[in-house]
Amino acid sequence: MAQVKIPKGYAELEESPASGKKMKKISLIFDDDLKKDEVVIVKNQSELSNYKLLLFLSSLNKKVEIDLPSANDYQIYSIPLTYINNVLQFGYFENGTAVFGRFIKLRYDLSSKKIKVIGYDSGYKVSPTEHIDKSYNLITGSYAVKRTYYKSDGKT
């Protein structure tokens, strides 16, 4: 089975700082070669809010590193990875930005032998009574916005 190597100074993230849920290394068949690939989120042990997504692709015998940066130099809080219908999703929230969350969707493209970003979702509070979710599908070009209003009785 493939094993992703964790860089020096980093450690596997074991619990989501956003939700407290257990973070797990995922074994998956991402690059469609019928051999297990591996993906994990790691955190820099000496720097605040420095995370990476590490993905080992067995077909290329290669580790891919994706930095999870804050757009505003705020602390980020990673959430557990998901893998559904050949789509790997990672996400994180930023503090100091009205609870701004980002969710990136990746798929392996067999013809180009590259990982492609196929979608991007975000969500944030506009006010204590209003939340906005945005979803971009980069394959179809569709873009959706959902605005939720919260009433004082808790109903939406």
Higher pLDDT, 28 or 69: 28
> Which pLDDT value is given to residue 9?
92
* Mean pLDDT over each residue of the chain, to the nearest integer: 87
Confidence bin at 71 (pLDDT 50/70/90): low
> Which pLDDT value is given to residue 97?
54
Two tokens at 70?
């804050």
| Mean pLDDT calculated for residue range 131-152 | 94
Identify the CA nearest to 122 among candidates 155, 97, 96. 97
pLDDT at 1 over 60: no
Tell me the pTM.
0.83
Confidence bin at 72 (pLDDT 50/70/90): low
pLDDT at 95 over 80: no
Distance CA(54)–CA(27), nearest Å, equals 12
**Cβ-based neighbours of 143, under 8 Å, separated by 6 or more:** 134, 135, 136, 137
> Which pLDDT value is given to residue 142?
97
Distance CA(151)–CA(129), nearest Å, equals 7
| Mean pLDDT calculated for residue range 113-131 | 90
* Three-state secondary structure readout of the chain: CCCCCCCCCEEECCECCCCCCECCCEEECCCCCCCCEEEEEEEECCCCCCEEEEEEECCCCEEEEEEECCCCCCCEEEEEEEEECCEEEEEEEECCCCCEEEEEEEEEECCCCEEEEEEEEEEEEEECCEEEEEEEECCCCCEEEEEEECCCCCCC
| Mean pLDDT calculated for residue range 77-101 | 83
Distance CA(132)–CA(14), nearest Å, equals 29
Length of the chain counted residue by residue:
156
